[in-house]
Amino acid sequence: MTQRASSGGARDLKAELVLAILEACDEEGEDLPFAGLLAAVCAGRPEFKHLADKLMACYGDLPPRVALAQMAKDQIWREAVEKASKAYLSGA
C-alpha cells in the first residue's frame, strides 16, 4: 500500500491517489497523458476509481505536470496535493 507519511490516522484516499500519481510520473515521466497515468494507477488500486474518474473529467486531456499544477490550485484537491508532495519529497 502506498502510504509513505501515514500517521496511523484515518486514510486520506485523495492524498494516496496523488502520491500514486506522483510516483507514476517519476517512472513514466511525460510518456503518458494524465488520463493514461490515472488508468495505470487505478489498474493496481481499484479503490481510487471514483476519485480518478473525477480527475479524468477535469484534467484527463492535459499533460501530467499541467494536471498536477491545476489540481494544486483547485480547492478540492489542494490539501491532497500538498500532503502527497511532502510525502513524495520526504521519500519516507
Spell out the domain ranges in the chain: 13-90
Burial of 37 (0-12, 13-18, 19+ CB in 10 A): buried
How far is Cα of residue 26 from the mean position of the Cα atoms in its chain?
12
pTM of the shown model: 0.83
**What gap in Å lies between CA 17 and CA 71, rounded to an integer?**
12
pLDDT by 10s per residue, the chain, length 92: 344 444 444 579 999 999 999 999 888 766 788 999 999 999 989 999 999 999 999 999 999 999 999 999 999 999 999 999 999 999 85
